Amino acid sequence: MQQQDGFSLLETLIALAVVALFFGVLLPPIVTNLERIEADALRVEALLVAANQIEAHVVIAADTEGRFEGSEGALSWRATVEQAGTAARAGDTVKPHALRRVQVDVFAQGHVPLVSLETYRVGVIR
């Protein structure tokens, strides 16, 4: 009786078919997870940009109103500082104050904000 060394061609083809089937089943979930990871990383970056911009615009909200735009890397942002309400009364002797709304929207590509943050600050009416 002869002893056979190695694999036959049929055994090799069956092993390759099993491996191909295995990768065919696993590849779509792997690609989906990689896309989700990339989208989450972009949202985290957008959130950091929004947090930095809201921090900067809250400082100027005491004196300034308006709309400001800029970009950081692949992301663009728009900050809006506007009067939300008045806290002064007609008989007050102190300077009147206004509640100012500060909103920052961060965009990746398109018109829908990827991240939007909003806060309020008391400012002087001039």
pLDDT digits (tens, 9 = 90+) for 16-27: 999 999 999 999
Extract the tokens encoding 95.
């300077």
pLDDT bucket at 84, cuts 50 / 70 / 90: confident
For the segment 30-42, what is each residue's pLDDT rounded down to a tens digit?
999 999 999 999 9
For the segment 69-83, what is each residue's pLDDT rounded down to a tens digit?
999 988 999 999 998
Q: Phi-psi category of 100—alpha, beta or left, where left has phi over 0 and alpha has psi -120 to 50?
A: beta
Cα separations in angstroms, 2 against 5, 55, 84: 10, 81, 93
Quick check: pTM over 0.85?
Answer: no
Q: Is-contact 102 54, C-beta < 8 A?
A: yes
